[in-house]
A and B are shown apart, each in its own frame.
Chain A
Amino acid sequence: MDARYTVFKQIEPDAQCPPAVKNELIAEIALIRNSLTVVEVYVDDLFGVASAMLAALVSPTGQSEL
């Protein structure tokens, strides 16, 4: 680092990030992942039910019962 610009390093504050920030972030990531898992399970279930209903409507001979 060029010594001419050392003063720019000196103006950086000497503070530390509060530890709570990390806990909040980890908790939020977990919440989002769990929510996505729940959505995936329900969507999968929904498609399963829909395809089972469609299959029930079609007779073994391949003809629609409607």
Chain B
Amino acid sequence: MITAKVTVAPDIRRMSDEELVRLYVDTQSNRYFELLYSRYNDKVYRKCLMFTKDPMKAEDFTHDIFFRLIVRLSSFKEQSKFSTWLFSITYNYCTDQLRAARRKGEVLVEEEMEVPDEDNDSEFEEMEAKRLQVALNQLTMEEQSLLLMKYQDDVSIRELAQLHNLTESAVKMRLKRAKEKLRNRYIETVIFVTILIAKVAASFKFLR
């Protein structure tokens, strides 16, 4: 009786990002990179679009970011998730490219303080997306990146600390300050719109 040993090629679509990186680095086979690309290209493009507000620039940024990724793949040490590392490259690239057009954020020396894990952020639940975007655009690139990585990409405090070479307390403090600034900017946009509506209503009343 003849038995044949059949080797089934592993389905690479089920592989984790980290496994795909290892295989690409070992074999230099494009199919592993192409799968990573297909998993994240839209997400990276959307982040670039959020910062640039220009589809052509966002396309250029996306291309450059993935090119940087290919060059740096062999240096990925798996100290964080691959997605976290990729988003960090994305935010850093966008920040660097757009920094010339914006005022540079202040570099604060953080005190080592005990910061509670979660503030009372219930008002974020009530915020409107459009007004939040307007308020967010008034923050520095670094503040925007930090908030988006934490609350849009679900990156943990520990990973943020590793990426930015900070202590977890320092990351929590920066998040707290960024949120407070965002809250204030959001309230300012709401007040502005309310005053505008009141003035328009008053002028209509006057005209009658």
Contacts and interface: CB of A to CB of B under 8 A. Distances in A.
A12 to B, nearest CB: 5
A24 B62 CA distance: 11
A6 B127 CA distance: 10
Main secondary structure of the interface of A (DSSP, over half): helix
Nearest to B40: A17
Contact of A7 (B28, B33, B124): B124
Contacts, number: 78
A29 B70 contact: yes
Interface string A1-18: 111111111111111111
A45 B65 CA distance: 36
Interface string A28-52: 1100010000000000000000000
B50 A11 contact: yes
Given A5-B151, A12-B50, A25 B45 contact: no
A55 B8 CA distance: 53
Nearest to A8: B151
Interface size class of B (residues with CB under 8 A): 35 or more
Interface stretch (B15-23, B101-109, B129-137, B165-173): B129-137
Contacts of B133: 11
6 contacts: A7-B132, A11-B132, A15-B49, A21-B41, A22-B34, A25-B67
Given A7-B124, A11-B50, A22-B41, 15 more contacts: A4-B121, A5-B121, A7-B125, A7-B127, A8-B124, A9-B152, A10-B129, A12-B47, A13-B50, A16-B42, A17-B41, A17-B44, A20-B59, A21-B59, A29-B70
